[in-house]
A and B are shown apart, each in its own frame.
Chain A
């Protein structure tokens, strides 16, 4: 375990350079280039605002677009990383079979490049939260300082899942379709479009908390929408999920590593 972590640290330059390659290659040749990383979430926010203030009104939650936006950004980071990690290794067969290459770098590159997109979208979220707070439809306090902590924990959670899924899907190809469908269900099992506290049944609330993304999304909503600190229960859950996921990911990857080059 310690050895695995140390190995990852040893490959940090590789992971860093592959991540930047990923980001550069993504926008290479397009006119707006990196601006798309800002433009995409901005457009998304614009569409939400248009739809939910002009066409549908949500009287229960004021500034509903901001509420939605603060939950959807971390969810997108999570779900696109997980989906993309199913092909992180199998899509790079050339590297695994032809180069002496630390395979664990590949799912992590996926995670970090999505983290980078998340980070690029953050200024827009912060700006929107600020405007909304000034308008008095939501609030924003010093609690925003805990965003880096949320991000670190979420990255650990996502990295652990990505490690497990990337290696397992090489041996078990059906995993990809399974994951895509599970994530669609997961979107509604996470309190993104609704408030967790608005759920009446205690049992269902408990079950929703078993979803590892629930404490993260509610915490981001607390910070950006309600201007409050993350709940203690959520902090505990986030830590447990993050550490548990990372450890499981490392163990699973370690077990499957030797069969990757052959099975791919």
Chain B
């Protein structure tokens, strides 16, 4: 997260209105290389004075109402449109998913369309051959591979388009609203793929109306309102402010004095944790407050470091300023790198709110915390069912999970190894096995299937039945 993958500086974009009278004028001025003076009658401003940066490897969400300029922003970044004033700098190979399957030709087969689409997205023929079986597998079009694309269902069409685009291996991937299409299963698959890309260090820039995706996938978010930046920063916070604006409620956050919300932290911060990254942020209307949020063990002792597999409880002391009937308690676990490990709330789990009148205590009990060793933080929140926050406390708790085994990932399912037959292993406890090496092995392993020869062979084998049909 050092260098900027994308920096937009004081950029504005206005569209010319292409009236019939001005048509010839436009052609003439474009040919002569002169700028038509933008006047109020002939142009509309789509984006006004936008500046932001996206760091390398960051995933960045753009939200806003219809017509607020989100798609225009994405098209400007991708280079499809040119800014009227200001500049955009992009570092690295960029791939844009603005419409899935744009450029598919209905009359020709899926196989040929994969090649055409891949080349359009900037791959070479050889690169597509290397990725071919992965693309087909991910799209799940199987037997239809050699059928003309016009026979595909819209789901298959979209799956193939997404599959080609994500296998381009860009440095920066731009995505416009494409996660909304396809069925639930494929949508999950897409998100998993995006998380994988994120893990590999791809910079993601999304435009979406699905605020849940912004909350779970993005490191930062930008809210565009009528062509201007309304808010930028923490995704949960930006989404929340957006929701409040959309529902028309006032943002009490600003009128509420800061002091009653900020609370003295009684535990000492753990030295292992990077404080800058995990600083608590807090916002909401303040009608209901999470006064105290504590992490305790089974005996009620406060915890900072937790052994993997032990029992923990999150205690929330709730204070009510205005009685509520619509309220949801939520908890989110995050890894120090920002990955959402787990998130849930009472609404999702079928607990319908009835009354909240005074002081209360809410407990979230985890009998066995099966996390891999590392630093984590917890978000706690109380909000309405439609997501308007009463009190959102980001990173309210920070803790480390200690583990003797240097396994990787975030979740450690309960497991054991069993061996049968002619195989022998000896148990040694080797505390020197270090994490980076294991990680390196893992990464190497996952990249070995990029071996081109393997794919060419497989492709040739698949091609044979095609000859019979043609």
**CA gap between A171 and B23 in the complex, in Å:** 6
**CA gap between A94 and B27 in the complex, in Å:** 22
Tell me if B385 counts as interface (CB < 8 A to partner A). no
Within 12-71 of B, Cβ neighbours of A (below 8 Å) are at: 15-16, 18, 23-24, 26-27, 30-31, 33
B contact residues around A18 at 8 Å (CB):
116
Contact between chains at B27 and A24 (CB < 8 Å): no
8 Å CB contact of B30 from A28, A29, A100, A259: A259
**CA gap between A244 and B276 in the complex, in Å:** 63
B contact residues around A94 at 8 Å (CB):
99, 102-103
Contact between chains at A21 and B116 (CB < 8 Å): yes
Minimum Cβ distance to chain B for residue A169 (Å): 9
Closest-by-CB residue of B relative to A102 is B120
B contact residues around A96 at 8 Å (CB):
80
B contact residues around A263 at 8 Å (CB):
16, 18, 26
Within 125-166 of A, Cβ neighbours of B (below 8 Å) are at: none
Contact between chains at A99 and B33 (CB < 8 Å): no
**CA gap between A2 and B90 in the complex, in Å:** 24
**CA gap between A172 and B28 in the complex, in Å:** 10
B contact residues around A261 at 8 Å (CB):
75, 80-81
Closest-by-CB residue of A relative to B106 is A25
A contact residues around B148 at 8 Å (CB):
28
**CA gap between A171 and B31 in the complex, in Å:** 11
Tell me if A256 counts as interface (CB < 8 A to partner B). yes
Number of A positions contacting B (CB below 8 A): 29
8 Å CB contact of B80 from A13, A28, A100: A100
Tell me if A200 counts as interface (CB < 8 A to partner B). no
8 Å CB contact of B105 from A25, A29, A168: A25
Minimum Cβ distance to chain B for residue A232 (Å): 35
Chain A, residues 88-110, CB within 8 Å of chain B (1/0): the string is: 00000011111111000000000
Stretch at the interface among B107-115, B199-207, B451-459: B107-115
Closest-by-CB residue of B relative to A20 is B112
Contact between chains at B121 and A99 (CB < 8 Å): yes
Closest-by-CB residue of B relative to A103 is B80
Given contacts A14-B120, A28-B108, A261-B80, contact A98 B24 (CB under 8 A): no
Contact between chains at B27 and A172 (CB < 8 Å): yes
Tell me if A43 counts as interface (CB < 8 A to partner B). no
A contact residues around B121 at 8 Å (CB):
99-100
**CA gap between A17 and B115 in the complex, in Å:** 8
Tell me if B124 counts as interface (CB < 8 A to partner A). yes
8 Å CB contact of B79 from A14, A100, A172, A173: A100
A contact residues around B79 at 8 Å (CB):
100
Minimum Cβ distance to chain A for residue B122 (Å): 8
Contact between chains at B80 and A97 (CB < 8 Å): yes
A contact residues around B98 at 8 Å (CB):
98-99
B contact residues around A101 at 8 Å (CB):
103, 120
**CA gap between A67 and B80 in the complex, in Å:** 48
Tell me if B288 counts as interface (CB < 8 A to partner A). no
Q: Which of B94, B96, B102 has the most CB of A within 10 A?
A: B102
A contact residues around B94 at 8 Å (CB):
100
Contact between chains at B119 and A13 (CB < 8 Å): yes
Tell me if A258 counts as interface (CB < 8 A to partner B). yes
Tell me if A252 counts as interface (CB < 8 A to partner B). yes
**CA gap between A99 and B124 in the complex, in Å:** 17
8 Å CB contact of A98 from B27, B30, B102, B122: B102
Closest-by-CB residue of B relative to A11 is B119
Minimum Cβ distance to chain B for residue A216 (Å): 27
Contacts A14-B119, A24-B108, A98-B103 known; 17 new A-B pairs at CB < 8 A: A28-B108, A29-B107, A94-B99, A97-B80, A98-B99, A99-B102, A100-B78, A100-B121, A100-B122, A168-B27, A171-B23, A171-B26, A171-B27, A172-B24, A255-B33, A259-B30, A261-B80
Q: 7 shortest A-B CB distances, which residue pairs?
A: A98-B102, A98-B99, A171-B27, A25-B107, A28-B107, A258-B82, A172-B27
Where the two chains meet, the residues of A that have a C-beta atom closer than 8 Å to any C-beta of B are 13-14, 17-18, 21, 24-25, 28-29, 94-101, 168, 171-173, 252, 255-256, 258-259, 261-263
Where the two chains meet, the residues of B that have a C-beta atom closer than 8 Å to any C-beta of A are 15-16, 18, 23-24, 26-27, 30-31, 33, 75, 78-82, 94-96, 98-99, 102-103, 105, 107-108, 112, 115-116, 119-122, 124-125, 148
